[in-house]
Structure 1
Amino acid sequence: MPVPARRLPSWAWVTGLTVGAIAGVAVLTVQAEQGPRPTATAARPGPSASASAQPSVAPTESRPAAVPDGSGTGRRIVYSLGERRVWLVDASDSARRTFTVWPGTVAPDPGTYTVGTRTEEATTGSDGVEIEHIVYFAAKSGVNIAFSAAVDGSSPPPAASGVQTGGIRMKTSDSSALWTFGTAGTTVAVVE
């Protein structure tokens, strides 16, 4: 006489399938963590590029950059002319945020400045682009130098030959962070 087959209860099937699915996801997660990761790099002009050359693509973050030595201590904004990068540094000398920027054609001299006037409302920049979150900190050769962002989020077009612009442009999200951080009286350290 044949022995009748025993049926597993439905909860046992559901439990078995759930455990199998979790194990599969765990295996795929481990494999994904060990795989290659894409990186982005910022295009930098070569030594023959002119001083007024602008990057043609949006700045990208490929690695966290250390706060430059010799940029001072304490809470400050650090702007590197050579790296085209800004750091928002807290009172403990830790970078809270760093990002690349598009400099204008007139660069501030290396040194220490203080945020003065700030304008949140949109206005037209010296290049004819509507800008916002303007944080002024220096003037050179009759040109005001300030951090800002284009209202439409675009990068600035290359300046026409001989046009002097003092806007240091950045992405809108970076501009909002700098606006919040860079209140009147905040130190701005400009380094090579």
Structure 2
Amino acid sequence: MARSSTGTAVAALTAAAIAAVGFLAYQANATAPDHPTQARSDSRSSSPKDGGKGKEGRDAKKVPADSGTGRRVVYAVGAKRVWLVGADERALRTFKVAPSSVDPEPGAYGVTSRSAGLVGSDGVQVEHVVIFHQANGIVFGFSSALDGSTPNPNARKKTGGIRQGREDGSAMWDFATNETKVVVVP
């Protein structure tokens, strides 16, 4: 019985189409922002080695003066910014975050637990969860949403999640091990 060349051609075209779709999906993922609400040029983290343009770039690198000393995570509630500070008092990394409906009180805390992944108090799947405080039934911690979403600060439900981009979440995860100091400033 003779083989049909049509079947071979269809199989080759199908394989080529699947490869093209896979490549396009990879390209789209590689250029997507950490947060869908941010433009690509703004979604990258500021590190002390980044040039930073203008006053915002320079000021963003400065660790708040009233944030203690030593190796620590500093979270400035008003600026919605985090600094990962080394033992030498230099910011190793700084980045913007998106808070939930309740902010932690200013003070010094310590990382009490960590989870590689779970469902956040707002029902969103998150990763790199770093918990540092609990008060009045509200758990405060940093996490990254797998879908890139940010919490609704005006939500009726009281939640204490502080969302960061996935790249920043990975850096936080590596830096903030159990008992790492977390300092919250106004």
TM-score between both structures, scaled by the size of structure 2: 0.68
Q: Does 1:63 align with 2:43?
A: no
1:30 is aligned to none
Q: Please report how far the alpha carbon of residue 57 of structure 1 lies from its aligned counterpart in structure 2 after TM superposition.
A: 2.9
1:140 is aligned to 135
Q: Does 1:174 align with 2:168?
A: yes
Answer whether contact 1:78 1:87 (CA < 8 A) is retained: yes
Answer whether contact 1:137 1:145 (CA < 8 A) is retained: yes
Q: Percent identity?
A: 46
1:164 is aligned to 158
Please identify which structure carries the higher helix content. Answer: 2
Give the distance between the partners of 1:72 and 1:136, measured in 2 at CA: 19
Give the distance between the partners of 2:167 and 2:122, measured in 1 at CA: 21
Answer whether contact 1:155 1:170 (CA < 8 A) is retained: no
2:122 is aligned to 127
Give the distance between the partners of 1:105 and 1:158, measured in 2 at CA: 7
Give the distance between the partners of 2:97 and 2:149, measured in 1 at CA: 9
Please, what is the CA RMSD of the aligned residues? 2.0
- Secondary structure of 1:63's counterpart equals helix
From 69, 82, 85, the counterpart of 2:81: 85
1:95 is aligned to 91
Answer whether contact 2:114 2:178 (CA < 8 A) is retained: yes
One-letter amino acid of the counterpart of residue 37, structure 2: V
Give the distance between the partners of 1:155 and 1:67, measured in 2 at CA: 27
1:109 is aligned to 105
Please identify which structure carries the higher strand content. Answer: 2
1:189 is aligned to 183
Q: Which runs of 5+ in 2 are unaligned?
A: 1-34, 47-55
String of CA shifts for 1:2-33, please: whole Å, max 9, x gaps.
xxxxxxxxxxxxxxxxxxxxxxxxxxxxxxxx
One-letter amino acid of the counterpart of residue 176, structure 1: S
Larger C-alpha radius of gyration, 1 or 2?
1
Q: Please report how far the alpha carbon of residue 58 of structure 1 lies from its aligned counterpart in structure 2 after TM superposition.
A: 2.8
Q: Please report how far the alpha carbon of residue 139 of structure 1 lies from its aligned counterpart in structure 2 after TM superposition.
A: 1.1
Distance 1:161 1:178, change over 3 A: closer
Please list every run of at least 4 consecutive aligned residues from structure 1 whose deviation after the TM superposition is greater than 6 angstroms. Answer: none
Q: Please report how far the alpha carbon of residue 112 of structure 1 lies from its aligned counterpart in structure 2 after TM superposition.
A: 0.2
**How many residue pairs get matched?**
136
One-letter amino acid of the counterpart of residue 58, structure 1: Q
Distance 1:118 1:157, change over 3 A: closer
Q: Please report how far the alpha carbon of residue 161 of structure 1 lies from its aligned counterpart in structure 2 after TM superposition.
A: 3.9
One-letter amino acid of the counterpart of residue 178, structure 2: A
TM-score between both structures, scaled by the size of structure 1: 0.66
- Secondary structure of 1:105's counterpart equals coil
